[in-house]
Amino acid sequence: MYDAAMGQKKNPHAQALGRLGGAARAESLPQSQISEIASKGGKARAESLSAARRSEIAKKAVAARERKRAQQQQRKGKS
């Protein structure tokens, strides 16, 4: 994986270890604290995105939900 901000390739082994460490830490935290941490990350991401990019992401989410509903309706009709 390439990190454009740093101008270098990321070490996939280091990434895997980082994910393992995060998972291990999350197991030891109460759910309320995990939710709080996740909320901070989501807010920081939203602040870093432009309005146009947020809109693009939202439109993709709506399209995905509509596809999922259509697939569920098709399955119900086939039963």
Phi, psi of 2 (to 5 degrees): -105, 130
Tens of pLDDT, residue by residue over 24-58, are: 677 778 888 888 888 888 888 889 999 999 999 99
Question: Residues with Cβ < 8 Å from 54, sequence gap 6 or more?
Answer: 46
Distances (CA, A) of 42 to 27, 34, 46, 47, 49: 20, 12, 6, 9, 11
For CA atoms 33, 38, 41, 47, the dihedral sign is: negative
Residue with tokens 């995060």, as numbered in its chain = 22
Residue 2, strand partner residues = 9
pLDDT of residue 6: 60
Provide the token pair at 24: 């291990």
Domain limits of the chain?
A: 1-48, 50-79
Read off the pTM.
0.48
